[in-house]
Structure 1
Amino acid sequence: MPRFVIQRAVEAGLDRAQLLRECRLPEWSLTGDDVRLPSEKYLRIWEVAEHRLADPDIAVHVTEGYAVGELGLYDLLYATAPTLGAGLAVCGPYMGAISTNFRFDPGPETEREIGFHVDLIHGEGRGRDLAMQFALTAVVARARQSTREPVAVARVTFRQSAPRTHGGLADAFGTTAIDFGAPRDTVVLRKADLTLPLGTADSRRAALLQKIAATMPAPAPRATTWSDRLTTVLTAALDRGPVTLDTVAHELAISPRSLQRRLAENGTTWRTELDRVRRLRFETASAATPLTRSAQAELLGYRDDRSARRATRRWDR
């Protein structure tokens, strides 16, 4: 997925070297099929691409250039299914073939409609907004390409706040029934369209691909507890720099005093939780590539290298 978005951004006019530099991505990390990047890097690519291209509709434009098959095994599992419904059914169990930070699950249904939830497990901010715009528009683009039919979208919901305008999204989905500030990111389709046959159906190939996909990481569980939510908010806050209790409380829509009380009720403290998330970020990032002291400080939300060095030494004891 990072390689796919980078390629689209470069095709739109962004200098590849500049993009990788701003995202702190070494070239080698994008060359091997066995390399997986931290999810925060994927979200950062979206942010930098939007900023450098001055394109708030970048997610829609990336979707417009997307062809089923470009996302590798995940696309192929979908495309070899017999019908649209069967193709969507494999998207959830085999999400690990494309990312361990997303989930795709069937949602609420009525006699005529059915929703599909796309959840980002960890990550907030503008990068998340753009990644989710792409995720939902790609669901629809994939359906229309594979069936060669104008699959209708009944409505769409986004967790993110409403942008100033969203005409690009309305064009991509083919509907103005788009709600923002919703509990989950969801696209609702007509049940009748799920019976549409896929032009690339191949039962033998599908069976082989599913055996391969079974060896991939399983999709991550969806964050459902308050502790999960706190981890998500802390991670996103660290992406933006030094973190304070006040800023995290604001993100959680509670007062700083209430946050401290909630932490105490869960048998923990602000310092403990912040240190836990920092350590998790450090261990994940350093396992992928060696980090300089300045890179460690930035990753961990410290203002100076010495603080980062003291923290990593403490964790090594």
Structure 2
Amino acid sequence: MQSSVINGTVSAHLTRSLVGAMTGADTGRLARLPDLAPEVLTDDLARVSTPSLLTVWENLVLLEPHTLIGPLILEDAPIGTFGLWDYLITTGATLRESLTQAVDLLAVIGDPAAEKLIVEEDGRHFTVRHATGTWGPDLVQAVDLFALSLFLTRARAAAGRHIVPSRVTITHRPPRQARQLAGLFGTDRIQYDAPYNSISFSEDDVHAPLPKAQPGMDRILAHHAELVLASSRPVLGWQDRFRAALTAAFQEDAVSLENVAQRLTMSPRTLQRRLAENDTTWRAQVESVRHEHTMDLLRSTDLPLDSIADRVGYSDARALRRAVRRWQGQAPRDVRRAPRRAPSAG
């Protein structure tokens, strides 16, 4: 169905909706990412790297700490916000058919390599199970709650009424806003610390005819979705996507060949081969990103050297000092004292 070329990427529709939720916030960090430029976010065929999307989520979580930022974003996201994918859910004959098709065509909106969706039926419940990447716990919780809320809000829009899920399971501990979350879901039948994330609907709800269904429209949209996927292309080339994935791994303290290979949906051996084809090695790339990350932390934060050493993977401040002298020919304190050079006008 879909080409592996879009693995490790998400749609511009999804990305710009999340960036739009940051209105009024300092988005300087985002502006430095090439696949988050305005001309990219307005291109419906553009595919943004998943590490760049995670940077957006990081900013959202920091902007709204201790809130249900994922579900709350969807309160102001009407049908159409996520483009074609939204309409896959509202045009089928029943909610069962529409949700199943939307799960099958997840790649239209999300990263098929990082987001896993499974549909299950047991005769009483229709369940959508969700799992995402192994990122920081705050990010994973925000993404998980966003995904479950996405299916609920779209199911309600498709049915034209306030559907209440028959069951919700969440792998995380109850948040401080557990009562608010129960209000958004419309039920207190929420199991926390569950083995998987899921949202279930009753068989009566999923088999009821949808008011906006148009015979044959669901098949037309599914065919169009396949064409969109075939025409979509990542904004970043492979090397830039690799660097983005490696940088994200540093930020999450999860730097390993296996971890980064998983983010890029390839085996560690294939990743090493791709690096060799680009005349570099895993070790050289790790050293390069560690250098960049260290310099950024030294120049833009007041973190103690022990904290920086821990963040970039050194055993202690002494090892960090040796590395900085090797890279810069000066001590970390001198790097911090040096004035920042203004960007070139050319």
Band of TM-score, shorter chain? 0.5 to 0.7
Q: What amino acid is aligned across from residue 68 of structure 1 in structure 2?
A: I
2:193 and 2:291 map into 1 onto residues whose CA distance is: 34
Q: Equivalent residue of 2:21, what SS?
A: helix
Q: Equivalent residue of 1:206, what SS?
A: helix
2:55 and 2:132 map into 1 onto residues whose CA distance is: 14
Find out whether 1:80 has 2:91 as its counterpart: yes
Residue ranges of structure 1 left out of the alignment (5+ in a row): 219-233, 249-271, 284-292, 308-317
Q: Equivalent residue of 2:116, what SS?
A: strand
- Shift in CA distance, 29/298, structure 1 to aligned 2, threshold 3 Å: farther
TM-score, normalized by length of structure 1?
0.66
- Shift in CA distance, 81/120, structure 1 to aligned 2, threshold 3 Å: same
- Paired residue for 1:20? 30
1:57 and 1:274 map into 2 onto residues whose CA distance is: 39
| CA deviations over 1:214-264 (Å, ceiling 9, x no partner) | 24559xxxxxxxxxxxxxxx997533247489xx9xxxxxxxxxxxxxxxx
Give the 5 Å matches for 1:20-39.
Answer: 20-21=30-31, 25-39=36-50
Question: Is the CA contact (8 Å cut-off) linking 1:83 and 1:197 kept in structure 2?
Answer: yes
Q: What amino acid is aligned across from residue 78 of structure 1 in structure 2?
A: I
1:81 and 1:242 map into 2 onto residues whose CA distance is: 42
Of 176, 179, 195, the match for 2:207: 195
1:183 and 1:237 map into 2 onto residues whose CA distance is: 25
Deviation at 1:28, TM superposition (A): 4.0
- Paired residue for 1:69? 80
Identity of aligned residues (%): 24
Deviation at 1:274, TM superposition (A): 11
| CA deviations over 1:96-151 (Å, ceiling 9, x no partner) | 111223233212x4442222112225644322211111110111111112212221
1:175 and 1:22 map into 2 onto residues whose CA distance is: 41
Residue ranges of structure 2 left out of the alignment (5+ in a row): 1-13, 231-245, 259-266, 279-287, 295-310, 314-319, 328-346
Question: Is the CA contact (8 Å cut-off) linking 2:92 and 2:213 kept in structure 1?
Answer: yes
Of 58, 61, 69, the match for 1:47: 58
- Paired residue for 1:114? 126
Question: Is the CA contact (8 Å cut-off) linking 1:68 and 1:146 kept in structure 2?
Answer: no
Of 127, 138, 156, the match for 1:126: 138
| CA deviations over 1:23-77 (Å, ceiling 9, x no partner) | 7744443232232122122233122112124452211211111212211111112
Of 137, 144, 152, the match for 2:164: 152
Q: Equivalent residue of 1:87, what SS?
A: helix
2:165 and 2:312 map into 1 onto residues whose CA distance is: 41
Question: Is the CA contact (8 Å cut-off) linking 2:68 and 2:177 kept in structure 1?
Answer: no
Q: Which of structures 1 and 2 has the bigger CA Rg?
A: 2
Question: Is the CA contact (8 Å cut-off) linking 2:17 and 2:82 kept in structure 1?
Answer: yes
- Paired residue for 1:211? 223
2:164 and 2:84 map into 1 onto residues whose CA distance is: 26
Question: Is the CA contact (8 Å cut-off) linking 2:171 and 2:197 kept in structure 1?
Answer: yes
- Paired residue for 1:257? none
- Shift in CA distance, 95/235, structure 1 to aligned 2, threshold 3 Å: farther
- Shift in CA distance, 57/38, structure 1 to aligned 2, threshold 3 Å: same
Q: Equivalent residue of 2:80, what SS?
A: coil
- Shift in CA distance, 80/296, structure 1 to aligned 2, threshold 3 Å: farther
1:157 and 1:206 map into 2 onto residues whose CA distance is: 29
Question: Is the CA contact (8 Å cut-off) linking 1:23 and 1:48 kept in structure 2?
Answer: no
Question: Is the CA contact (8 Å cut-off) linking 1:82 and 1:197 kept in structure 2?
Answer: yes
2:66 and 2:28 map into 1 onto residues whose CA distance is: 17
